[in-house]
Amino acid sequence: MSLTAKSLAVVYHSPYGHTAKVANYIVQGAEKAGANVHLMNVENVDWDVLDHADAIVFGCPTYMGSMSAAMKLFMEQSSKRWLARTWQGKLAAGFTNGGGLSGDKLAVLQQINLFAMQHGMVWSGLPLMPTGRSSTDLNRMSSFLGLMTQSDNAPVEVTPPTGDLETAIWFGEYLALLLNKIN
């Protein structure tokens, strides 16, 4: 770890708690790697924290093949930062959770990726080879653009499954370690 820990912000929308649970596991991984982590819901954003973070990880549920309205509103509210290029050069990554195995989660990650590119951010995907397809395997959905998790329309206390949550920890740790390499 460097003498000065890097700052990573995780900003998410989670009306039912599943995406928040995943966000918390990403935070665990990033903290494990020594990052200073800030976690916030898009409905209570601290813009100053986002502006000063070295990396921002964006996450939301997948609804009907798209991102949630609250995440879209957050993106639109960032327009002054887009114009000023405030986030240009920051590391960015994304994650999404949905009830189905697909649910078109890739479309949401693409939307988040395009948003980050509009801001001039540097995107990191999930460079983890899938270890299988069971609920205990890492990257079981074979996603490389970002983290995908599945809640299977079950209560937040029992889902997403262990493998998805372990992948979230891996992702957070990877992003924090990557920050130390590129900054």
Check residue 89 and give its pLDDT.
98
Residue 7 has what pLDDT? 97
Query: Which pLDDT score is estimated for 3?
Result: 45
Cβ-in-10-Å burial (0-12, 13-18, 19+) of 177 comes to middle
User: Do β-strands 55-63 and 36-41 pair in parallel, antiparallel, or remain unpaired?
Assistant: unpaired
Q: Which amino acid is at 87?
A: W
Instruction: List the chain residues with pLDDT less than 50.
Output: 1-3
Neighbours of 76 (CB within 10 A): 10
Amino acid of residue 99:
G
**What pLDDT shows up at residue 100?**
87
Q: What pLDDT was estimated at residue 146? A: 98
The DSSP string of 122-152 is EE---------SSTTSTTTT--SSSEEEE-T
Q: Record the tokens describing residue 14, joined without a space.
A: 């989670």
Taking the C-alpha atoms of residue 172 and residue 77, their distance in angstroms, rounded to an integer, is 25
Q: For position 1, what pLDDT does the model report?
A: 38
Give the per-residue pLDDT at 183. Answer: 65
Closest CA to 172 of 3, 45, 42, 34: 34
Residue 169 · residue 36 · CB < 8 Å: no
Which amino acid is residue 37, in one-letter code?
V
SS3 79: helix
